[in-house]
Amino acid sequence: VGCDCDRYVEVWNLVFSQFDSDGNGHYTEMEHKNIDTGMGLERLACVMQGVDNLFEVDTVQNIMKHVCRIAGVTYNADEKTDVALRVITDHIRSTTFMIGDGVMPSNAGRGYVLRRLLRRAARYGRLIGIKKPFLYEVVETVIHENASAYPELEEKKAYIRKIVEEEEKTFAKTVDKGFDMLSGILTQLKAEGKDTVSGEDAFKLSDTYGFPIDLTEEIAAEQGVSVDRERFAALVEEQRNRAREDYHNKAGSSWAEGGLQMDAPATVFTGYSHTAEEDAKVVAIFRDGESVDTAAEGEPAVVVLDKTPFYAESGGQIGDSGFVTTPDSTFTVETTSKTENGHYLHLGAMTEGALHVGDTVSAKIDADKRSRTMRNHTAAHLLQAALRSVLGDHVHQAGQLVTDSRCRFDFSHFAAMTHEEIKQAEALVNEKILEAIPVVTQELPIAEARKLGAMALFGEKYGDVVRVVTVGDYSVEFCGGTHVDNTAKLGLFRILSESSVASGVRRIEAVTGTGVLELLDSYEQTMASAAKAMKLSNTTGLAEHCAALVADNKEKDRQIESLNQKISDAQMAAIFDNAKAVNGVKVVSAMLNGTTPQVLRKMGDTIKDMKEPVVAVLASVNGEKGNLVCACSAAARDKGAHAGKIVQRVAAVTGGKGGGKPDSAMAGIGKTYMVDEALLALDGIAAEFLKED
């Protein structure tokens, strides 16, 4: 009806798209006109249920009620509380669905959007009195309310809940420190009559405490304070520049990024189909970042060719090595990289003769190294497919390093893999190897590649035509790297380790082919060395001998513990012969040279359990090091004794440090020759703590 009176709610609209506006009042008639029609589901739900807004629709209201129960508040009682409840409800719905779709919290792209939603919801929870992680509990209700239409949420419930919980815990640590600091800044600004948080303070919050700038701005705005975003951005850029300079300084070489300038056309890469190029031409040579005409024998250099079979490091795959030769010279290529302009940089040194710009050369890669690298790269693709099968579709590549010796694969997953999951993934990869599946690489229009289901790295930029690597119907990925042509060429696959590298990111390291054989050889050598150390003629029965040795050591440890107790008991009787009474408390000190810290602690445990009031400090010196143990019985503590404070004072006499609990504490001895003086000071130190009867 075209009015802003709020008497009418638009449920279904029709948009007739006819003109294209340039934003400056000019309208060009569209070549393909259309009618855009849509009925908003959420608006329709409001109409059908007779409510005023989405947050009163039953499925959404049930989520909000869960938040209300946790916070101990009611909806429609206070405007600020209502805003917080709506924000929390909206954001936890969004985050639940995003995680269900495979998005992980991160500092870039869609992961950053997810992280901001979660953290904003958590912050609004604090505004209504919820100080603990709580969003992960609300996830249960979100899934329950949407399970009929989205059953996959129920299947991934435990996983979604875990991610939200971990992210909340991480944010809680960050936000506590940041809130305290920001509160202090805002209080000081108000006292000074100022209304802008400096860029320096905002940067310190972000850089030192991990407190997001958008959260700083949001909290400041609530108190009518702005943030000097321009200065903040300048400081961030300064930090980036310092990082770049540091990188260049560490690189210390002519191939540091941005260090090479040339007018030659981009290098033609022929390495997908060739391991050698017999008539390549040298178009540029660089030494120490400067363009030169010649590289002489013994000199490190960077050589650029017009075409090359050398793969340049990219996509997680290392660069090729090999040789660039003429009849009279040899340039040894240690690795290969490339510039943003597509020039392939052959990094190495002249090992024979001299090389000149304009020379026609033979470029030949280390084919064996390339083959091993190809096996590991194909294994990475198989591993990703296996992990998605074992752990779920949320698994996505988060980084990789493929070398000739191993495959390192980082992936999104929030919990450590179990031994069974690791073995299951490993078995799946080996199964595909034994099936001898052809590995097909082809260049396709990106739309066609996506129709095949090719997996891409989120945030990566792809051209109109992409390279797709397909392993049967098991794996389809965008990839510019080199691969074997059949999975059987991997030989075998073995996972070496699984670990954490960041919140929500796990890492697997694995080997293939000869790498597996080398691994088995190392295991065999280790077993042989262990057998030899145990004086066995071979490895037969090694496990049983190891088990027996462990059992024997446990028995000896038990015997040692028993002897330590006897030593402790024997020494205990002697040390009380010299006890002194200080304000009704027995104060004991003793020098027990050669006594282990374990025995000292055992004696301290006995003393602190005594019924009578006792304060004891026991010392032991072994070589140049020494320890002090202080123990106070309950009756002595009632009179003011504190083991941690007393041992700290006694140790200070020797220049040592220490402390601990009121009943038992330890300290290191500084100057061992001052131990006697420190023990003599005990009576006076104890008297300062003990109350007179």
- DSSP string over 400-430: EEE-SS-EEEEEE-SSPPPHHHHHHHHHHHH
Q: Are residues 349 and 404 in the same domain?
A: no
> Higher model confidence: residue 608 or residue 557?
608
Angle, CA of 68, 74 and 75, to the nearest 5° = 95
Q: Tell me the C-alpha distance between 471 and 205, whole Å.
A: 48
Angle, CA of 102, 105 and 109, to the nearest 5° = 85
- The most confident of 249-258, 334-343, 418-427, 552-561, by mean pLDDT: 418-427
pLDDT digits over 33-54, tens only? 888 877 778 888 888 999 888 8
> Higher model confidence: residue 528 or residue 426?
426
Q: Is the pLDDT of residue 570 over 80?
A: no
- The most confident of 134-143, 450-459, 552-561, 576-585, by mean pLDDT: 134-143
Cα Rg, the chain, nearest whole Å: 35
Q: Are residues 178 and 291 in the same domain?
A: no
Question: Hey, what are 686's tokens?
Answer: 């104890």
Categorize the per-residue pLDDT at 257 as very low, low, confident or very high, splitting at 50, 70 and 90.
very low
Categorize the per-residue pLDDT at 348 as very low, low, confident or very high, splitting at 50, 70 and 90.
very high
Whether 541 is covered by a domain: the verdict is no
Q: Are residues 608 and 657 in the same domain?
A: yes
Q: Are residues 223 and 349 in the same domain?
A: no
Q: Are residues 54 and 130 in the same domain?
A: yes
pLDDT digits over 371-414, tens only? 999 999 999 999 999 999 999 887 888 889 999 999 999 998 87
**pLDDT on residue 243:** 62
Q: How many CA atoms lie within 13 A of 492 on its CB side?
A: 10
pLDDT digits over 169-198, tens only? 888 877 777 777 888 888 888 888 888 989
Q: Is the pLDDT of residue 248 over 50?
A: no
The model's pTM: 0.62
Residue 397 near residue 457 (C-beta atoms within 8 A):
yes
Q: From residue 340, how far is each of 251, 257, 263, 321, 345 by CA, in Å?
A: 17, 9, 13, 20, 11
Q: Are residues 62 and 208 in the same domain?
A: yes
Domain holding 677: CATH number? 3.10.310.40
Categorize the per-residue pLDDT at 59 as very low, low, confident or very high, splitting at 50, 70 and 90.
very high
Whether 257 is covered by a domain: the verdict is no
Domain edge (last residue) among 198, 227, 256: 227
Domain holding 291: CATH number? 2.40.30.130
As a whole number of angstroms, the longest Cα–Cα distance in the chain is 108
Residues above pLDDT 70, as percent of the chain: 94
Whether 382 is covered by a domain: the verdict is no
Q: Across the chain, what does the average pLDDT equal?
A: 87
Q: Where is average pLDDT lowest: 36-45, 72-81, 481-490?
A: 36-45
**pLDDT on residue 461:** 61
Q: Are residues 309 and 417 in the same domain?
A: no
Q: Is the pLDDT of residue 256 over 50?
A: no
Hey, what's the torsion of the CAs at 515, 521, 525, 528, to 10 degrees?
A: 150
Whether 427 is covered by a domain: the verdict is yes
* Domain enclosing residue 500, as ranges: 392-519
**pLDDT on residue 458:** 52
Question: Hey, what are 270's tokens?
Answer: 């022929």
Q: Are residues 361 and 433 in the same domain?
A: no
**pLDDT on residue 619:** 92
Whether 256 is covered by a domain: the verdict is no
Q: Is the pLDDT of residue 259 over 60?
A: no
Name the domain count of the chain: 4
Whether 68 is covered by a domain: the verdict is yes
**pLDDT on residue 491:** 94
- The most confident of 45-54, 485-494, 573-582, by mean pLDDT: 485-494
Q: Are residues 402 and 361 in the same domain?
A: no
Q: From residue 239, how far is each of 207, 235, 246, 584 by CA, in Å?
A: 10, 6, 10, 63
Domain holding 423: CATH number? 3.30.980.10
Q: Are residues 286 and 218 in the same domain?
A: no
**pLDDT on residue 613:** 94
Q: Are residues 60 and 197 in the same domain?
A: yes
* 208: CB partners within 8 A, 6+ apart: none
**b/e 99-132 (16+ beta carbons within 10 angstroms → b):** bbebbbbbeeebbebbbbbbbbbbbbbbbbebee
Domain edge (last residue) among 347, 365, 383: 365
* Average pLDDT rounded to a whole number, residues 656-665: 91
Whether 143 is covered by a domain: the verdict is yes
Q: Are residues 497 and 607 in the same domain?
A: no
Whether 71 is covered by a domain: the verdict is yes
